[in-house]
Amino acid sequence: MMTPDRPDRHNPLHRVRLGRSGDNGFTLIELLISMTILPIVIGAISVGLLSMFSLQARVNGRLTGSLALQTTMATFIKDVQSSSQVETNSSTPACDPTVSGETQLLGLKWSSGQTVVSYVEVPMNNGATINRSPGLPMTTGFSVERVECTFGNSTPSTTSVISYDAQPVSTQPPASLCISATSCSTSYPSFSASSNYAEVELPLYIALGSSPYYTLIASPRNPNAIPGGLSSNGFYAPINLLGLPSSGCGTLSVSPNASLTINVNGGSANGLLAVGATCASGGATVQLAQNSTVNAGGIIVTSPGAVSGSTPVPIFVAGTKSFVGTLAGLTPPPNPTGVGSCIQDQANNYYCSRGSYGAYSFSNQTNSITFYGGGSYSFTNFHIPNGVQVTFGPGAYIFNASSSSGSAFTTGNSANITGNGALFYAPYGNMNIGNNSYVNLTPPSGYQGVTIWDAGGAPGSGTATPTVTLGNNSSYGSSTSCSGASFGGIYVPYGIVDNSSNGTICTSFIVAGQASFWNNTTITVTP
SS3 label, residue 297: coil
Q: Residues 136-149: what's their mean pLDDT?
A: 71
Residue 125, pLDDT above cutoff 70: no
Residue 133, pLDDT above cutoff 90: no
pLDDT band at residue 403 using 50, 70 and 90 as cut-offs: very high
Residue 283, pLDDT above cutoff 80: no
Q: 309-353, pLDDT tens digit by residue?
A: 877 777 777 655 556 566 878 899 999 989 999 999 999 999 999
How far is 205 from 170, CA to CA, in rounded Å?
13
Residue 227, pLDDT above cutoff 50: no
pTM, to two decimals: 0.64
- Residue in 479, 492, 474, 481 with CA at minimum distance from that of residue 526: 481
pLDDT at 1: 46
More confident residue, 340 or 15: 340
Domain boundaries, the chain: 64-225, 308-525
> In this structure, are residues 463 and 404 in contact, taking their beta carbons and an 8 Å threshold?
yes
pLDDT at 407: 95
- Residue in 525, 371, 509 with CA at minimum distance from that of residue 449: 509
Q: 356-398, pLDDT tens digit by residue?
A: 999 999 999 999 999 998 899 999 999 999 999 999 999 999 9
What are the percentages of helix, strand and coil residues in the chain, rounded to 5? 15, 35, 50
Q: Please report which residue ranges of 290-366 form alpha helices under DSSP H.
A: none
How far is 451 from 494, CA to CA, in rounded Å?
16
Residue 194, pLDDT above cutoff 50: no
> In this structure, are residues 357 and 374 in contact, taking their beta carbons and an 8 Å threshold?
no
pLDDT band at residue 246 using 50, 70 and 90 as cut-offs: low
pLDDT band at residue 66 using 50, 70 and 90 as cut-offs: low
SS3 label, residue 241: strand
How far is 412 from 385, CA to CA, in rounded Å?
5
| Range from 54-68, 206-220, 471-485 carrying the lowest mean pLDDT | 54-68
- Return the H-helix or E-strand segment holding 506: strand 504-507
More confident residue, 167 or 437: 437
pLDDT at 353: 95
Residue 192, pLDDT above cutoff 70: no
pLDDT at 53: 64
Q: 93-105, pLDDT tens digit by residue?
A: 989 888 777 888 8
Q: Please report which residue ranges of 196-284 form alpha helices under DSSP H.
A: none
- Residue in 133, 103, 129, 132 with CA at minimum distance from that of residue 118: 103
Q: Which residues contact residue 51 at a Cβ distance below 8 angstroms, ignoring those fewer than 6 apart?
A: none
How many other CB atoms are found less than 10 A from the CB of residue 44?
Answer: 10
DSSP state for residue 32 in the 8-state scheme: H
Whole-number CA gyration radius for the chain: 38
SS3 label, residue 233: helix
**Mean of all residue pLDDT scores within the chain:** 78
